[in-house]
Amino acid sequence: MALPEIAVRDWFKSSYSAQANDCVETRRLVFELAVRDSKDPGGPALLFAADAWVAFIAGIKSGELA
C-alpha cells in the first residue's frame, strides 16, 4: 500500500482515549499495523509486524512493560 493511502484512511484511536488529539492512532494493514501520533496525522507512521504488536499489547496488559 502506498504511504499516502496509509496516511489518509481507516485510522483508529483507543476507546480509552479522550476525543482530544493526545494519543496514538493505529491502522491495520494486510500483514502489519501502522501506528502514528494523533497530534501529527501527516507525520511519519511506524509499521509493526502483526505478531510483534500482539506481543507488545500482551506485555502491557500483563505489566511486563509497565
The per-residue pLDDT of the chain, averaged, comes to 81
Cβ atoms within 10 Å of 34's Cβ, excluding its own: 21
| The pLDDT value given to residue 1 | 47
- Grid cell for residue 52: 510483534
List beta partners, residue 27: 34
- Grid cell for residue 53: 504488536
Closest CA to 33 of 60, 12, 16, 19: 12
The arithmetic mean of pLDDT across residues 15-30, rounded, is: 78
pTM given for the model: 0.70
SS (H, E, C) 36-51: EECCCCCCCCEEEEHH
